[in-house]
Structure 1
């Protein structure tokens, strides 16, 4: 009988611990460097003033033929932004963490020059799912990124 009470108390404490730790998460789990599942690009996610951002650190299309000079953002719909270099370009902006999702952010697609609404979720600690969409999330595309260790 005492064993059952002891095990029940342990299970209850474990449940309380899981609930408490879930409420104190800061969202920092996505901070780090990630590579697109296709290997096309790498981004570095960081936190600034309570929001999360991501910079392009490498892309197969990032450099000119010399392999050293960063290409410019020539596809941007805004003509005034076409002189920006792709290297270190912020492509994920203003994400807020709530429970198990990073939302209210935007993602910039360097190929099309367009910006989309976006959410981020972790499939597991080493796989990040980034969903860009127009209007509602149902009308979008999810891209998987793997954590660089």
Structure 2
């Protein structure tokens, strides 16, 4: 009985790792300026991204509209929140720009195996800008 349970656990773990590995957005990405590195991951059925490295690790969230959050460090912030997958596009989420202290609607689109277009916008997608992030190891 113990062997069966252990085998089932191993198969389930392998399946989860395989399924996660097949999701092309999961992983580490670098913004075009090279000032930040973002790790995208899945929580439940949604996708999120954390700014796990920035050039100035001590930089604070000084532009945040909430005064109580201005003393927190930018490194470690979850800047991508609540995305759902729709083919090669991840939509319905938001991106926080710590340089401006603003949160925008956002969609992300996979472009090949190592490029990710990030489009932040207000209202409609036409009123925004796109930057391309590069996958890193």
> TM bucket by the smaller chain?
0.7 to 0.9
Equivalent pair of 1:28/1:47 in contact (CA under 8 Å): no
2:112 to 124, 132, 148: 124
The two structures, once aligned, show a CA RMSD in angstroms of: 1.7
SS in 1 for 2:125: coil
Equivalent pair of 1:76/1:114 in contact (CA under 8 Å): yes
1:32 to 15, 19, 27: 27
1:1-149 aligned at under 5 Å gives the runs: 28-60=23-55, 62-63=56-57, 70-149=58-137
Where does the alignment leave 5 or more consecutive residues of structure 1 unmatched? 1-24, 64-69
Distance 2:79 2:122 in 1: 16
SS in 1 for 2:24: helix
Structure 1 position 80, deviation (Å): 2.1
Distance 1:131 1:77 in 2: 22
Runs of 4+ in 1 over 2 A off after TM superposition: 25-28
Where does the alignment leave 5 or more consecutive residues of structure 2 unmatched? 1-18
TM-score by length of 2: 0.80
Structure 1 position 84, deviation (Å): 2.1
Equivalenced residues, count: 118
Distance 2:112 2:33 in 1: 18
TM-score by length of 1: 0.74
Equivalent pair of 1:73/1:82 in contact (CA under 8 Å): yes
